[in-house]
């Protein structure tokens, strides 16, 4: 092939559904546009820089970078590599040169919807959320979820906890313990955004029999009968679209993808998938209906949500 795309992940791809989607996206784009593709996985901040440099050095036409971790690096590297196009998925930077493009998501819109469901379904009036690490990005999940809960159930209390520890994005043991602890404290609806830890939360749900919510892709089959709904993030679609636009010569492309653009979603909104999803939401049509209603308000702008990432 005459074109060469490189996807640089910010972390180990592993079971991280989001990063896996990025890999799927680059492969799809490669097929669609006839390009060789490669994936460079990073583990550390230093790796990220080295990988981006290596991608340029290996002559990539388009370097796709997933995650906000690459902002500084792109700022440094892009001006020195005018022949390479950089696509940052998930965040954008100011004062970009022409060869830097962005595609961002408004995950908090979907998280808010999931919060709405949890707020309606809780019987104890206590809900919980576990994030991997107390970082701003994950507040898009945790805070938006909490806001969603409060919007339908002002009395409900939301317990926000973090996995932390030595290995926050892949510590199912601690994730599970957090979920168990929250459940013991009364929470019956728990949202998990813990990457590798999600499995731990699912196990806790199976053992202690409570409802969970998760992120990125349909995880309902991982704990049948316990996952109510998940937020979806269409990284692959976004990537293919953005790469197409870049190949057509677009400069400083910016794509922002929320509910409206179909960049994020939840199972409840996907009426054709709903029945076979294995998600509990299928058994709660009134909740799904409410979620669709709120989604409509968000899409038409009548309900405005703050991006929790920049809060504080």
Partner 1 sequence: MFELIADPSFAASIPRFVTPILLAALGGALCERAGVFNIALEGFLLVGAFAAVLGAYFSGTPYIGALTAMVAGMALGVVFAEFNVRRGGDSIVVSIAINLLAAGLTTFFLRAIFDVTGAFSDPAIAGFSPIRLPFIENVPLLGPILSGQALPFYLALLSVPFLHVFLARHRLGLRIRAAGENPQALRAGGVSPKRVQLLALIACGALCGLGGAQLSIANVNLFVENMSAGRGWIAVVAVLLTRGRPWPLFFIALLFGAVDSLSFRVQGLGLAQQFTDMMPYLATLIVLVALSWWRARRAKGDAS
Partner 2 sequence: MMAFDAGKATRSALPWLFTFLWIAAIILALLLFVGAPVGEALSGFWNGAFGGRRNAYLMATLSRSALIVGMALSVMLSFRAGLFNIGGEGQLVAGGLVAALVGVLLPGPPLLVLVVAILAAMLAGALWALLAGVLQLFMGVPLLVGSLLLNYPIRYIASYLVAHPYRDVQSGMVQSHLVPQETWFAYFPGTRLDIGILFTAVAAAFALIYSYWTVHGYHTRLNGLSPDFARTVGLPVRRLTLQTLALSGAIAGMVGAIAVFGIHHRYIDGMLVQPLYAWTGIIAVLLVGMVPWAVPISGFFFAAVQTGAAGMERAAGVPKEIALVVQAVIILFVASRVSGALTASRGDGDGHV
Which residues make Cβ contacts (< 8 Å) with residue 20, sequence separation at least 6? 13, 217
Told to check if 27 binds partner 2 by CB under 8 A, we report no
Both tokens of 3, joined, read 């074109």
Distance of closest approach, residue 241 Cβ to partner 2, in angstroms: 23
Residue 192 binding partner per list partner 1, partner 2, none, with a CB distance cut-off of 5 to 8 Å that depends on partner kind: none
Q: Which of 15, 20, 53, 256 binds partner 2 (CB under 8 A)?
A: 53
List, in sequence order, every residue forming a beta bridge with 254; answer none if it has no partner. 102
Which CB, 44 or 254, lies closer to partner 2?
44
Distance of closest approach, residue 6 Cβ to partner 2, in angstroms: 9
Both tokens of 283, joined, read 């058994």
Distance of closest approach, residue 207 Cβ to partner 1, in angstroms: 8
Q: Which of 7, 8, 16, 143 binds partner 1 (CB under 8 A)?
A: 16
Which CB, 151 or 167, lies closer to partner 2?
167
Q: Of the candidates 15, 37, 12, 11, which has an alpha carbon nearest to the alpha carbon of residue 26?
A: 37
Residue 270 binding partner per list partner 2, partner 1, none, with a CB distance cut-off of 5 to 8 Å that depends on partner kind: none
CA–CA separation, 240 and 28 (whole Å): 7
Which CB, 46 or 286, lies closer to partner 1?
46
CA–CA separation, 136 and 113 (whole Å): 19
Q: What is the DSSP letter of 281?
A: G
CA 272 from centroid of its chain's CA atoms: 22
Told to check if 278 binds partner 1 by CB under 8 A, we report no
**Largest Cα–Cα distance in the chain?**
60
**107, 110, 294 from 288: Cα distances, Å:** 18, 13, 10
Q: Which of residues 83-112 bind partner 2 (CB under 8 A)?
A: 91
Which CB, 58 or 209, lies closer to partner 2?
58
Told to check if 312 binds partner 2 by CB under 8 A, we report yes
Residue 199 binding partner per list partner 1, partner 2, none, with a CB distance cut-off of 5 to 8 Å that depends on partner kind: partner 1
Q: Which of 41, 50, 261, 307 binds partner 1 (CB under 8 A)?
A: 41
For the chain, the 3-state helix, strand and coil shares in percent, each to the nearest 5, are 50, 20, 30
Q: Of the candidates 51, 60, 50, which has an alpha carbon nearest to the alpha carbon of residue 84?
A: 60
Told to check if 27 binds partner 1 by CB under 8 A, we report no
Q: Of the candidates 297, 276, 270, 249, which has an alpha carbon nearest to the alpha carbon of residue 98?
A: 249
CB 89 within 8 A of CB 166: no
Q: Which of residues 156-195 bind partner 1 (CB under 8 A)?
A: 159, 161-167, 170-174, 176-178, 180-185
**119, 172, 287 from 66: Cα distances, Å:** 32, 23, 33
Residue numbers at the binding site for partner 1 (CB under 8 A): 12-16, 41, 133-134, 159, 161-167, 170-174, 176-178, 180-185, 196, 199-200, 203
Residue numbers at the binding site for partner 2 (CB under 8 A): 38, 40-41, 43-47, 49-51, 53-54, 57-58, 68-69, 71-72, 77, 80, 91, 133-137, 309-310, 312
């Amino acid at each position: 092939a005459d074109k060469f795309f490189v996807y640089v992940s910010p972390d180990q791809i592993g079971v991280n559904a989001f990063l896996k989607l990025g890999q799927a996206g680059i492969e799809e784009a490669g097929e669609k546009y006839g390009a060789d593709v490669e994936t460079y996985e990073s583990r550390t901040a230093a790796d990220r820089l080295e990988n981006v440099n290596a991608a340029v050095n290996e002559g990539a036409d388009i370097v796709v970078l997933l995650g906000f971790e690459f902002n500084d690096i792109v700022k440094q590297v892009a001006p020195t590599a005018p022949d390479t196009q950089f696509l940052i998925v998930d965040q954008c930077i100011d004062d970009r040169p022409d060869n830097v493009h962005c595609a961002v998501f408004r995950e908090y819109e979907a998280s808010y919807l999931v919060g709405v469901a949890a707020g309606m379904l809780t019987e104890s009036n206590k809900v919980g959320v576990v994030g991997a690490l107390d970082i701003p990005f994950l507040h898009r999940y945790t805070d938006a979820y909490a806001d969603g809960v409060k919007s339908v159930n002002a009395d409900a209390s939301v317990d926000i906890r973090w996995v932390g520890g030595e290995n926050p994005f892949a510590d199912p043991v601690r994730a599970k313990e957090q979920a168990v602890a929250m459940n013991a404290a009364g929470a019956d609806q728990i949202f998990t955004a813990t990457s590798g830890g999600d499995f731990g939360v699912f196990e806790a749900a199976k053992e202690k029999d409570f409802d969970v919510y998760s992120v990125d892709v349909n995880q309902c089959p991982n704990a049948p009968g316990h996952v109510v709904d998940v937020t979806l993030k269409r990284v692959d679609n976004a990537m293919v679209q953005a790469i197409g636009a870049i190949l057509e010569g677009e400069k400083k492309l910016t794509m922002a993808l929320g509910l409206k653009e179909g960049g994020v979603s939840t199972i409840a909104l996907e009426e054709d998938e709903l029945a076979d999803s294995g998600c509990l939401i299928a058994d709660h049509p009134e909740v799904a209906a409410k979620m669709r209603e709120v989604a409509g308000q968000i899409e038409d702008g009548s309900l405005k949500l703050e991006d929790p990432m920049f809060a504080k």
